Structure 1
Amino acid sequence: MRITIKDLAEYCGVSSGTVDRALNNRPGIKLKTKQKVLEAAAKLNYRPDFTARSLVKGKTMTLGIVLFDLYNRTFAQLLNAVELKAKEYGYFIYVALTNKDPDNEKQCIEYLANHKVDGMILFTVHQGEEFEHYLESFSFPIITIFNFLSERWQYIGIHERGAMKDVALFIADKGYTKITYICPPLSFQGKRNIFTQEERLKGLEEGLSERGINHVKVIKQNDYLDVLDGLVFKDGDMAIVCSCDLYALEVMNHFKEKKIKIPEDVGLMGFDNIDVLKYISPKLTTVEYPVEEIGKMAVESLIYKIEDGKFNTYSPMSLDFKIIEGESI
């Protein structure tokens, strides 16, 4: 039989309000009494009734997060930060993965809505007025990350274009004159929201243009390794820039099999600075940005909105980024 707050109160000889203060670490209770209640709760195997609590508070104490997948370590790091920060506030996380499919994304959103989440963090592939009207039909607050929707939505991210422009200037100043950019998501251009990837490409082109390099070979195919096999690497004047570290690591492994040396034959650069790079040789040159901080800020702002009626006032795309110099450029 489930032990209730009333049962604990009777066992300890105190009021239900006193038990509630002890269990929820609220003021207005003596330390000795609080300790007595907590010891009794542990002894009797008390478990809070979250359904009853949600009815009283009008909240489920849960947040939803919609991501593409967890293959990219960036998303895993982000999710871990979100879960830890939510727990600090007493919230739990529902995770829904879309695999970048628009229809699946809507199903994920509906799933979270049906589970009565108090708020949602959304990395969307949708865009446009129709989708924004759809989101407005939900009663809970939504924060968007990475892929920008519009000014109507709270957004947290970095200045993607500025970050990749710095990359362009960096590699050009290293003497590279031929640039290949690998970004398979660009194949969805005009079909899905790929704001992040479009901004990175614009930044790369702007930076290279400032250095007099006006042509970038852009590889949008998923079989980008096969495309690379058709290129010639001999003078060390080409740099391959990847839109994320995952692609860069695939390229690095492929080149090792082909006996193509990095950086002697070709330079290689990633983006994300995922945590597994410390195990990679040669050390990958990449861009670091505070992905975990993005997750924490999203949770904090969402909970402020849920509990205080307003979002935290973060400046969009204000987070820092920096180039991490390795051995591949």
Structure 2
Amino acid sequence: MGITTKEIAKICGVSRTTVHRALNNTGRISEKTKRMILETAEKNGYRPDLLATGLAKGKTYYIGVVVMDVNNRYFSQMLSALEIEARERGYFINITLHQNDKEIEKEQLCKLADYHVDGIILSSVNKGEEYKKFIESLNIPVVTIDNKIADKIPFVTVNGRSAISKAVCEIAESGYEKVIFVCPPLAEKNLENIYVHEERTAGFKEAVKKIHGLEYVIIGNWDYQKQAKKELEKSEKKTAFLCTGDMFALNLIRMFEKNGKRAGQDYGIMGYDNIDFLEYVTPRLTTIDNHVEKVAEEAFNLLLQLMENKNVAETERILETVTVQGETI
């Protein structure tokens, strides 16, 4: 066990109040005394009692993070980015997973509130005014990412509608005459919050209507590989797939390879997210950068402002994104 502040005070011949001033860099204390205390603390392996410090300041220095799962590379990268943001600011994160289950999500949020975390970052599968009331009843600052719950709930995401709209234009400009939009989560539209996918779908519909002569199909179910195969087989036009997730795109590429068709040659394909292991995939997938690190930074900064009771004028922050060029369009 490390040395206590009481023992440091006895060694240095000062009061515990003086020791606390030196360790916390507060109050009036001479540089000589401060240096002596800090050197004594380091020499004897002093470790601060974070629980006691938190209780004294009315903080736990824990941030709750609730996301779907860690199998999805986007969420794995998000958790990593949030942990870095938290650590740099002296906080720890408590990670919980809701597995796309609405009730589990509510249970996890209640538990985090019972543990008195200082704030929560949430990627929700719930939505609506009633759920908004539940979030507000927690009496803890909450910032949502990706899926919007309701107006006036702090929210950070990227502009998926605009990103998909621009992607459609880029695909058409590359000479493709038909674009197949692949968004399997649309099958869950009436069951859970799929705000990000609905926004991307809206962007797609807006874009294709503006491009004369561009044929399009929307695949919105989990049997998307089978349907995509049929669409490509019957198509007589130069065809590209636009997927709302990199993993959907990679699954299609693997499926088509088994059928002797190669991405970028026999068809075009673009993903969404720019997950980290795309650099190991050949041909390199053209995709849309979801700016996971920027979203994490913006969400954490917003949460800190709310935790510090600052007057935040804008609690909805939409970040712009870009297409990452690869070899498949």
| Same fold flag (TM > 0.5) | yes
Distance 1:144 1:315, change over 3 A: closer
CA distance in 1, matches of 2:326, 2:166: 16
Please give the secondary structure, in 2, of the residue aligned with 1:260: coil
Output aligned runs, 1:62-77, within 5 Å.
62-77=62-77
CA contact (8 A) 2:177 2:237 kept: no
CA distance in 2, matches of 1:9, 1:216: 75
More off after superposition, 308-317 vs 98-107:
308-317
Aligned AA (1:163):
A
Distance 1:203 1:21, change over 3 A: same
Instruction: Give CA-to-partner distance per residue, 1:47-70, whole Å, 9 cap, x none.
Output: 322222222111111111111112
Aligned to 1:244: 245
- Compute the displacement of 1:150 (Å): 2.4
TM-score where L is the length of structure 2: 0.91
Instruction: Give CA-to-partner distance per residue, 1:47-99, whole Å, 9 cap, x none.
Output: 32222222211111111111111222222222122111112221110111111
CA distance in 2, matches of 1:27, 1:257: 71
More off after superposition, 305-314 vs 132-141:
305-314
Q: Considering only aligned residues, what root-mean-square deviation do their CA atoms show, in Å? A: 2.2
Output aligned runs, 1:227-266, within 5 Å.
227-233=227-233, 237-266=238-267
Aligned to 2:18: 18
CA contact (8 A) 1:268 1:328 kept: yes
CA distance in 2, matches of 1:2, 1:247: 52
CA distance in 2, matches of 1:214, 1:190: 29
CA distance in 1, matches of 2:295, 2:134: 25
CA contact (8 A) 1:236 1:265 kept: no
- Compute the displacement of 1:101 (Å): 1.2
Please give the secondary structure, in 1, of the residue aligned with 2:230: coil
CA contact (8 A) 1:236 1:264 kept: no
- Compute the displacement of 1:203 (Å): 0.3
CA distance in 2, matches of 1:311, 1:95: 26
Aligned to 1:305: 306
Unaligned stretches of 5+ residues in structure 2: none
More off after superposition, 35-44 vs 131-140:
35-44
Aligned to 2:269: 268
Aligned AA (1:274):
I
Aligned to 2:196: 196
Distance 1:48 1:292, change over 3 A: same
CA distance in 2, matches of 1:78, 1:311: 24
- Compute the displacement of 1:236 (Å): 6.2
Aligned to 2:150: 150
CA distance in 1, matches of 2:177, 2:134: 46
CA contact (8 A) 2:177 2:214 kept: no
CA contact (8 A) 2:253 2:262 kept: no
More off after superposition, 75-84 vs 196-205:
75-84
Aligned AA (1:320):
E
Unaligned stretches of 5+ residues in structure 1: none
Please give the secondary structure, in 1, of the residue aligned with 2:11: helix
Please give the secondary structure, in 2, of the residue aligned with 1:199: helix
CA distance in 2, matches of 1:29, 1:77: 44
- Compute the displacement of 1:313 (Å): 4.1
CA distance in 2, matches of 1:25, 1:259: 67
More off after superposition, 96-105 vs 223-232:
223-232
Q: Percent of counterpart pairs with the same letter?
A: 37
- Compute the displacement of 1:300 (Å): 1.5
